[in-house]
Amino acid sequence: MSLLAKIAEIESEMARTQKNKATAHHLGLLKARLAKLRRELITPKGGSGGGAGEGFDVAKTGDARIGFVGFPSVGKSTLLSNLAGVYSEVAAYEFTTLTTVPGVIRYKGAKIQLLDLPGIIEGAKDGKGRGRQVIAVARTCNLILIVLDVLKPLGHKKLIEHELEGFGIRLNKKPPNIGFKKKDKGGINFTATCSQSELDLETVKSILAEYKIHNADVTLRSDCTADDLIDVVEGNRVYIPCIYVLNKIDQISIEELDIIYKVPHCVPISAHHRWNFDDLLERIWDYLHLVRIYTKPKGQLPDYTAPVVLPDGRTAVEDFCMKIHKNLIKEFKYALVWGTSVKHNPQKVGKDHILEDEDVIQLVKK
């Protein structure tokens, strides 16, 4: 029996099973089995691998990487070529783009790499079409733009989300607040710091037994679902912010546009007429959470033209030094910082000081 057949069988059994307290245990088991089979699909067993996917893995350049995901012919290539001035082949038939086309834009001093990925079709997570490679590239992005046709958005949105979820990509979510630690002996030690609507000790035991884990500490710090627990146990999930770009708004009325504007994480644009690009870029900037740091040589004015751009969460002075050159930190004595992260300007700081957006820094070496 092939993997796809097994997956289809489990999915149909889950659809048949009623959801209530009595069946929660059984559903948890099925979900864990499904997650294991999905993982086998994504990472095929050893053996001589086929040739590498032609032109798929693009070298990562710039400060952030954005992938355009969507069905064929929703205007991903038009959007890329109008944003970045890169020519990605555009035509009025489906599947024009066959490999990844990279482009780079400069926005607020940051270099942002845009990837036009080939169109995804239904069943991509099961290895149909170029789906597997497309989604594998999407996993490495800092932000995903799901490009939708405004005339048929919601069905497409659900399908693409389903494909990405099946691949271990979680959109606009935070990692679940679950402590999970394997140990050698002592059984399953289960603690919940707040009341749980879905998980109890039995369900947790059955899910972990499916992974052949019989000794572990599990701490639930929020109301978690079985899926959250499976995500933590699998450990290969990536959490990526996502913006839904509704293209072709030149084909709808103003009233419809007002309704679309109320949808969360959504930006309506027209790639062909270049409408609302500034709003899209501003939204992209917000979701990327990049931090710009300006450098100031001694006795000169700060250089505001070429900031050093750091990703959110790694903005200490030490990270700043590593971004420029790894030997800098060995000669580092202290830094002078002007900006919002310090109490008075300039302030003398050590290498653990956390910098904020648009700070100015001057390094003093030993």
Sheet strand arrangement including 216-220: 178-182, 216-220, 188-192
Q: In this structure, are residues 175 and 202 in contact, taking their beta carbons and an 8 Å threshold?
A: no
Q: pLDDT value at position 49? A: 45
CA distances from 246 to 15, 33, 70, 79 (A): 31, 36, 11, 11
pLDDT higher than 70, residue 115 = yes
DSSP, collapsed to helix, strand or coil, labels residue 352 as coil
Helix (H) or strand (E) holding 259: helix 254-261
Residue that has been written with the tokens 């890169």 in this structure: 86
Q: pLDDT value at position 120? A: 62
pLDDT tens readout for residues 335-360:
888 888 888 888 888 888 888 888 88
- Going by C-alpha positions, the residue among 224, 226, 231, 213 that lies closest to residue 167 is 231
pLDDT higher than 70, residue 225 = yes
3-state secondary structure 140-158: CCCEEEEEEECCCHHHHHH
Q: pLDDT value at position 48? A: 41
Q: pLDDT value at position 51? A: 44
pLDDT higher than 50, residue 93 = no
Mean pLDDT of the region 327-333:
83
pLDDT higher than 60, residue 320 = yes
Q: Residue 290: count other Cβ atoms within 10 Å of its Cβ.
A: 23
Q: pLDDT value at position 53? A: 46
- Per mean pLDDT, which of 45-59, 85-99, 115-129, 254-268 is the most reliable? 254-268
- The better pLDDT of the pair 173, 74 is held by 173
Distance CA 295, CA 309 (A): 11
- Give domain limits for the chain: 3-42+176-234, 64-172+238-287, 291-365
| CATH fold for domain 64-172+238-287 | Rossmann fold (3.40.50)
Q: pLDDT value at position 52? A: 46
Percent of the chain with pLDDT over 70: 84
Residues 6+ apart with CB under 8 A from 189: 216, 217, 218
Q: pLDDT value at position 92? A: 46
pLDDT higher than 50, residue 192 = yes
Mean pLDDT of the region 2-8:
79
**Using the 8-state DSSP alphabet, how is residue 316 labeled?**
B
pLDDT tens readout for residues 300-312:
888 888 888 888 7
pLDDT higher than 60, residue 72 = yes
Position 85 confidence tier, pLDDT thresholds 50, 70, 90: low
pLDDT higher than 80, residue 316 = yes
5 alpha carbon, distance to own chain's centre: 29
Percent of the chain with pLDDT over 90: 0
Residue that has been written with the tokens 């029996």 in this structure: 1
Average per-residue pLDDT in the chain?
77
Q: pLDDT value at position 56? A: 58
Q: What is the dihedral of CA 54, 59, 62, 63, to 10 degrees?
A: 100
pLDDT tens readout for residues 252-310:
777 777 777 777 888 888 877 778 788 888 888 888 888 888 888 888 888 888 888 88
Task: Quote the pTM value.
Answer: 0.71
Mean pLDDT of the region 306-324:
83
Residues 6+ apart with CB under 8 A from 310: 290, 291, 293, 319, 320, 323, 355
The CATH architecture that domain 291-365 belongs to is Roll (3.10)
